[in-house]
C-alpha cells in the first residue's frame, strides 16, 4: 500500500504573513507520527515563508501551482521550472482545471510543462478531469485519458513512473459537489490501466490523487476507496485546523 498523499492547493490565497500564522496553527494541530505525506502548493510568492516555517520539518513537501511552458525569457509575471526548484519546490501542479479552463492552457502546453518540470529534476502532479457536460455525455474516460496522454507525451517512461496524477472532475472543484468514492475509483482504475500500457507494473504504485470539494466529512471515505492514493484539496485546506484534521483522517 502507498502512503497516502494529502496535498493543499491554496490557489490565490495566503500571502507570506497569513502563511506564517497558518503554519504556526497547523503545526500545533498536526501529530508528528501521522503516517501520511503532506504537501503544500502555496502561491509562489509565499513559498519562502512556508519553507521557513517548516525549516526543521522535513516530512512536508512543497510545490508551486504553475510554471511557464518555456524555460526562460520575456514572460512578465511568470516563473520557470528552474526558478521553482531554486526556491525550494519539489512538486509542480500542471494542468489544474483553473489553468485549463480559466487561463486557456492547452494539452500541448501541459506536455511542455511536464517536460520542463522533469528536466529541472522536479515532479509534476498532472491534473486531469472532465467538465460536467462531458460527464453527462459519457465522455469522462475519453477526456481524462486524452489529457493524460498529452501530459505525458514528451516524457521518458522513467519520468512517467515517478510523477503524480490528480483526477479532479471540473464539476466538483469548488462547487461543494464531490465525486462518490465509487466514481473516483472507476476513473482512477482507468487511469492506472492506461498507464500500465506505458510503464508496465510501475503503474501499480503511481500515486493517483482525487480532488474536488474534499472536506472533513468526505475525506476518509474517499481515501479508503480503491485506487485513491491521496487527495488534492483546495478550499478546505485554507483553514489550518481544518487542514490538519483532514491530513489525519
Ligand atoms: C483544487 O483546486 O484542486 C480543488 C480540488 O479545489 P476544492 O477542494 O476547493 O474543490
How many angstroms is it from 237 CA to the middle of ligand 1?
A: 9
Give the integer Cα–Cα distance in Å for 195 and 149: 9
Residue where the block lists cell 520539518: 57
Q: Where do the DSSP E strands lie in 80-163?
A: 91-94, 123-128
Backbone φ and ψ of 221, nearest 5°: -65, -40
* ipTM higher than threshold 0.90: yes
Q: What is the pLDDT of residue 2?
A: 77
pLDDT of 1 reads 62
Residue ranges per structural domain of the chain: 5-247
Question: Which is the catalytic residue, given 98, 105, 130, 168?
Answer: 168
Mutate to test the pocket of ligand 1, among 6, 8, 11 (most ligand atoms within 8 A of CB): 11
Can you give the pLDDT at residue 160?
98
What are the pLDDT tens digits along the chain (249 aa)?
A: 679 999 999 999 999 999 999 999 999 999 988 899 999 999 999 999 999 999 989 899 999 999 999 999 999 999 999 999 999 999 999 999 999 999 999 999 999 999 999 999 999 999 999 999 999 999 999 999 999 999 999 999 999 999 999 999 999 999 999 999 999 999 999 999 999 999 999 999 999 999 999 999 999 999 999 999 999 999 999 999 999 999 998
Site of grid cell 489525519:
248
User: By the 8 A CB rule, do 4 and 230 touch?
Assistant: yes
Which H, E and C letters describe the chain, residue by residue?
Answer: CCCCEEEEECCCCCCHHHHHHHHHHHHHHCCCCCCCEEEEECCHHHHHHHHHHCCCCCCEEEEECCCCCCCCCCCCCCCCHHHHHHCCCCEEEECCHHHHHCCCCCHHHHHHHHHHHHHCCCEEEEEECCCHHHHHCCCHHHHHHHHHHHHHCCCCHHHHHCCEEEECCHHHCCCCCCCCHHHHHHHHHHHHHHHHHHHHHHHHHCCEEEECCCCCCCHHHHHHCCCCCEEEECHHHCCHHHHHHHHCC
Looking at residue 34, its pLDDT comes to: 86
The catalytic residue among 96, 105, 115, 188 is 96
For the domain spanning 5-247, the CATH number is: 3.20.20.70
> Half-sphere exposure of 56 toward its Cβ, with a 13 Å CA cutoff?
2
| pTM for this model (two decimals) | 0.97
Q: Is 171 annotated as a binding residue?
A: no
Helices (H) and strands (E) in the chain, counts: 11, 8
Residue 152 Cα to ligand 1 midpoint, Å, equals 22
Give the closest residue to 147 by CA, choosing from 167, 161, 133: 167
Three-state DSSP at 41 gives strand
25 is in an annotated binding site: no
Q: Which residues line ligand 1 (CB under 6 A)?
A: 9, 11, 168, 173-174, 211-214, 232-236
Amino acid at each position: 500500500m502507498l502512503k497516502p498523499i494529502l496535498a493543499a492547493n491554496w490557489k490565490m490565497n495566503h500571502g507570506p504573513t497569513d502563511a506564517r500564522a497558518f503554519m504556526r496553527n497547523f503545526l500545533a494541530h498536526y501529530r508528528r507520527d501521522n503516517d501520511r505525506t503532506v504537501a503544500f502548493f502555496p502561491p509562489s510568492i509565499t513559498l519562502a515563508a512556508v519553507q521557513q516555517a517548516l525549516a526543521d520539518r522535513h516530512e512536508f513537501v512543497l510545490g508551486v501551482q504553475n510554471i511557464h511552458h518555456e524555460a526562460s525569457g520575456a514572460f512578465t509575471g511568470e516563473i520557470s521550472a528552474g526558478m521553482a526548484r531554486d526556491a525550494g519546490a519539489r512538486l509542480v501542479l500542471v494542468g489544474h482545471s483553473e489553468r485549463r479552463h480559466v487561463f486557456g492552457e492547452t494539452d500541448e502546453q501541459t506536455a511542455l510543462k511536464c517536460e520542463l518540470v522533469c528536466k529541472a529534476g522536479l515532479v509534476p502532479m498532472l491534473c486531469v478531469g472532465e467538465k460536467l457536460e462531458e460527464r453527462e455525455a459519457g465522455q469522462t474516460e475519453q477526456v481524462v485519458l486524452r489529457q493524460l496522454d498529452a501530459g505525458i507525451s514528451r516524457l521518458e517512461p522513467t519520468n512517467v513512473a515517478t510523477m503524480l496524477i490528480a483526477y479532479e472532475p471540473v464539476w466538483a472543484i469548488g462547487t461543494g459537489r464531490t465525486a462518490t468514492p465509487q466514481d473516483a475509483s472507476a476513473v482512477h482504475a482507468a487511469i492506472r490501466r492506461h498507464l500500465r500500457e506505458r510503464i508496465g507494473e510501475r503503474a501499480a504504485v503511481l500515486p493517483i490523487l482525487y480532488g474536488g470539494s474534499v472536506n472533513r466529512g468526505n475525506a476518509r471515505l474517499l481515501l479508503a476507496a480503491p485506487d485513491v492514493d491521496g487527495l488534492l484539496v483546495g478550499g478546505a485546506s485554507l483553514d489550518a485546523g481544518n487542514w490538519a484534521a483532514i491530513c489525519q483522517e
